[in-house]
Amino acid sequence: MYLCLSKMNWELIVSTLGTTPTPTNKKALLSLAIGGFGIGLTEFVIMGILPNIADSMGISISKAGHFIAIYALGVVLGGPLMARITQKLTPKKSLLFLMVWFTIFNTLSSFSGNYWTMLLFRFLSGMPHGAFFGIGAVISGYLTRPEKAAQAMAVMFSGLTVANIIGVPLGTYIGQEWHWSFSFMLVGIAGLATLASLYFWMPKQHLEENEGSNNPSTANSLKNKKLWALIALTTIGTGGFFAWYSYIAPLVINITKLPEANVGYVMIVAGVGMFIGNFMGARMVEIFSPVKSVVISLLCMTITLLTNALLASDAIAIFVISFIVGMITFSVTAPIQIAIIKAAKGAEKLGSSMNQSAFNMGNASGAYLGGLPMVFGLKVTYASVVGGILAFVGAGIGVAILYYQKNSLKKLE
């Protein structure tokens, strides 16, 4: 993700959060990263063991795909709901509550014996996802100096990227070689590790003022047009990535003509790109404004995805492009979270959680739209074209936000 905040921008964020900056608390940030690892593991490992789950339950792979969709629905609905439920709790208690929920229902998923039980537990497993990242993004600003806040946020999201590099391949191997239930037990272990690290390492910090449903600032924040424009930007812009990533397997196998085993290697390369892009985004905000950083990244994503549609048949190109797309996509994360926090003043946790829900709406909509060309008989490479269009539209929304901000400042003058 691209992070580029001037000193003045960081002072605005710190005043928004209502706290005095402290030296970087590396252990507390690590506890957030461990939680991100567990969440990334449960979200993506199921894609590699879906045939195993389908065979075990005696259902089709397409029906087993509902377990992926229902998790995303849990994230979308659970983000704002969980933020509301935890609004009266301290940050530490909020994160502990969310991770207890996460650990219980992911572990119970291991014991699902039929379609309906698994569907229920996957939905409940997804509910804490958005709130954990949303609240964690806000809290990470408390755990470091103002000028390092973007990098602190990137540390938290690094857990998700490491999950794509190490956790998902390991979980997939375990699920395929032994039984798919062991993959979810691995997620439960990650949840327990997160609980322990949060309990011992996360300081007992309090917000000066809790967000409440009766707080006028909360209602005003949710009426902020810029906030909703940023939510739309996240949904549409990141949908471009998911339009491509959702069909990476058929792209590698049918277009690049590589053996099936190479799909995992391509995804690992993309994961490495995500890891690097996450911290790259944190640096971008030190050069540009958050929204401008997002626009730059989405325009780069547009060019890269369209290039992928032309060069996907080349074995070297597919690895290079996968790395670049992963890097660009995660350069968006920190800047957009910072922009959301600033726009949702008075309801930072809720706004940040809603943005995580928007990422998952981008996941669902991107996968659906990316698959439409194939319904009409076109090649899978056209999913990349759809992705490029979505990324470009997202960049357009960002440009509109910047234009609106510029005109608003002129009126104030």
Report residue 206 as tokens: 């309090």
- The SS3 assignment for 41 reads helix
- Per-residue pLDDT, averaged over 319-338, amounts to 89
Supply the mean pLDDT for the chain.
81
* Whether the Cβ atoms of residue 95 and residue 353 lie closer than 8 Å to each other: no
Q: Is residue 204 classed exposed, middle or buried when 0-12, 13-18 and 19+ CB atoms within 10 A define those classes? A: exposed
Look at residue 295 in the predicted model and tell me its pLDDT. Answer: 94
User: What digits encode the pLDDT tens for the residues 74-118?
Assistant: 888 887 788 788 877 888 888 999 999 999 999 999 898 888 999
Look at residue 209 in the predicted model and tell me its pLDDT. Answer: 41
Look at residue 196 in the predicted model and tell me its pLDDT. Answer: 93
* 8-state DSSP, 244: H
What's the Rg (C-alpha) of the chain? 20
* pLDDT greater than 80 at residue 48: no
- The SS3 assignment for 285 reads strand
Q: Which of 30-39, 245-254, 355-364 has the highest mean pLDDT?
A: 30-39
Reported confidence tier of residue 73, pLDDT bands at 50, 70, 90: confident
Min mean pLDDT across 67-81, 122-136, 215-229, 288-302 is at: 215-229
User: What digits encode the pLDDT tens for the residues 210-230?
Assistant: 444 445 455 555 667 888 899
Cα separation, 51 vs 117, in Å, equals 18
- Per-residue pLDDT, averaged over 155-165, amounts to 81
Q: What is the DSSP string of 291-344?
A: HHHHHHHHHHHHHHHHHHHHHTTSHHHHHHHHHHHHHHHHTTHHHHHHHHHHHT
Min mean pLDDT across 45-59, 184-198, 382-396 is at: 45-59
* pLDDT greater than 80 at residue 174: yes
Give the orientation angle of helix 180-201 with respect to helix 91-109, to 10 degrees: 160
Look at residue 102 in the predicted model and tell me its pLDDT. Answer: 93
* pLDDT greater than 60 at residue 7: no
What domains, with CATH codes, occur in the chain? Answer: 7-203+216-412 (1.20.1250.20)
Reported confidence tier of residue 208, pLDDT bands at 50, 70, 90: very low
Look at residue 108 in the predicted model and tell me its pLDDT. Answer: 93
- C-alpha angle with apex 321: 170 to 240, nearest 5 degrees? 85
